[in-house]
Each structure stands twice: as structure tokens, then as C-alpha cells.
Amino acid sequence: MNDPTTGAVSDRSDGQATPARTYNDAALWQQYAGDRRRSVRNQLVEANLGLAAHIARRYSGRGIDEDLRQVAFLALVKAVERFDVSRGVPFSAFAGRTIEGELKRHFRDTTWTLRVPRAVKERSLYVAKLGEQLAQQLGRSPTVAEVAEYLEISTDEVVEAVAAGGASTPSSLDATDEDRVPAALGEDDAALLSVQDAVIVDRLIEVLPEREQEIIRLRYYLECSQAEIAERVGISQMHVSRLLRRSLEAMRLIADDPADDPEDGGRARVVGHGEAPASSS
């Protein structure tokens, strides 16, 4: 099995991943770090498309899901743009972690699980807390680069977090751990909807706005990819992803509230379009 943390794999049309050269052209990375040219960025992305496809395939179960390929592709682009060659970490390791993180988040957002909103202020709390810790360790205020390296996020994100910390909507100090800690309450297995679930889900869908109803049906009944839905509905693929997530959340909230349905107080289950592996690391 190819290990994405040690090398790239080629993306063969027959779906079989085969070892390929590890793309570790330090000179190209140095060049990109210096001039940030898109042509160089594109070379680096294209050289690592196989890595992204390989990881997406691991999350796809049978076949390759076009949505997952898209998520992995964008994660790869972000990884290339954020990679710091001077840290001495192989790109494949850095990118593998980034891509897996985005895929897991994609599953979390598009399957029937509780999703805790990721707010900017949440990150600003981490950054503020870490800033204090690092200041104590270093005997001085840490630089943005130091905080970014420690948290494994970009310097942009640190700057944003600092800015968000001073925004007009302060974080609530009364938030409970439950508000902050992600928890999976549902099942995201790939089982088919039971008849009972299907009836419940049909009723839940009807509470959604018309466009969201159409998107849910296209995605889960007709099994269209997000890109196909985007084209049919006339919005971006990422927007489709957001609407799907929001719709599922809305449906879950209603399904979880027994007051809404005394007879069918149990939670309905909507399955995602793929099955996250039990162990993906």
C-alpha cells in the first residue's frame, strides 16, 4: 500500500494506485517560496495530484467520488500555497495531513452527525491562549510565524484570529464544553435508508426551502455529485456543499426534537455519500 506520508502515487485511469516518484524538488519549492508564481504553483499542484487522488480514493470506498476528488484537490492547492519548505518536513507528509483533514471535515459536514460550527472566534481563543503560553516560554511575545508553526496554520489565519479577537462580537465566557467539543451523535455508515427512516426523512425534507429540497433529493436520491448539482441549480459547488450541510443540520435538529413528532421521536438517519474509514491515519 502506498503511504501518502512518504511519497506520491500516480493517478491511473484504471483506478489502481501505483508508486510514482516522490515529488521533492527543493529548487522548485524554493523558487515558489521566493516569487509565488502561479506557473510554479501549478507545477507543484499537478505533480501531486496523484497524492490527492490517492487519499480521496481511500475515503471513497468503491470507486472515486467526484466530490471527494474536488475536496482533495482544493486541499492540495491550499497545502501547496501554505507549505513552508524551510521547516524540513516532506511536502507529502504536510499535504497528506491537510487533505485528510479536509476530507474528514467534508464527511462531518455532509453526513448525519452533529456539527459544531467552526467560528473564527474559536480559533482566536486558541491563538490568544497559545500566545500567552509561548510568551511565558520565550520570555517575549511570540511572532506570528511562531504561533502559526505551533498551531500548524498559516500566518494569515493567525493574523485573522488576532483581528477577530478584537471584533465587536466577543466570545461568550459562559459557553459550555458541549458548545465547543465536536461530537458525533449519529451514524455515518453506508447502509441504505430503512423504509421507516425514508418516511421520516421525506417529511423532514419538506420543512426545507424549495431549493434545499431539490439539492437534498439530487444528492441523496439521484446521487448527483455536488458539481452536477451546482450546474443544475446554478450556484458554486462549494455553495452546494454549504447548503447540504445546513439542510442536514436543520433536519437533524427537527428529528432530534421529540416535541416535533411524538410518534416518531427517534432520530432519523441520513447517510452521506461515502464511508469514512474507521482508521484513516
Interface residues toward other proteins, by CB under 8 A: 35-38, 42, 45-46, 70, 73-74, 77-78, 81, 105, 109, 117-120, 123, 155-156, 159-160, 163-164, 167-168, 235-239, 242-243, 246
Of 190 and 233, nearer to other proteins (C-beta) is 233
Closest CB 258 distance from other proteins, rounded Å:
29
Of 20 and 162, nearer to other proteins (C-beta) is 162
Closest CB 122 distance from other proteins, rounded Å:
8
* C-alpha grid cell, residue 221: 436520491
Of 159 and 190, nearer to other proteins (C-beta) is 159
- Contact (CB, 8 A) for 55 and 72: yes
Helix/strand/coil for 18? strand
Of 32 and 112, nearer to other proteins (C-beta) is 32
Of 200 and 248, nearer to other proteins (C-beta) is 248
- Give the orientation angle of helix 226-233 with respect to helix 237-256, to 10 degrees: 100
Closest CB 31 distance from other proteins, rounded Å:
12
Residue-wise DSSP of 175-190: --HHHHS----S----
* C-alpha grid cell, residue 8: 506520491
**How big, in percent rounded to 5, are the helix, strand and coil portions of the chain?**
60, 0, 40
Q: Residue 183 carries which side chain, given as an amino acid letter?
A: A
Closest CB 184 distance from other proteins, rounded Å:
18
Residue 107 CB contacts under 8 Å (≥ 6 apart), including other chains: 59, 188, 272, 274, 276
Closest CB 78 distance from other proteins, rounded Å:
7
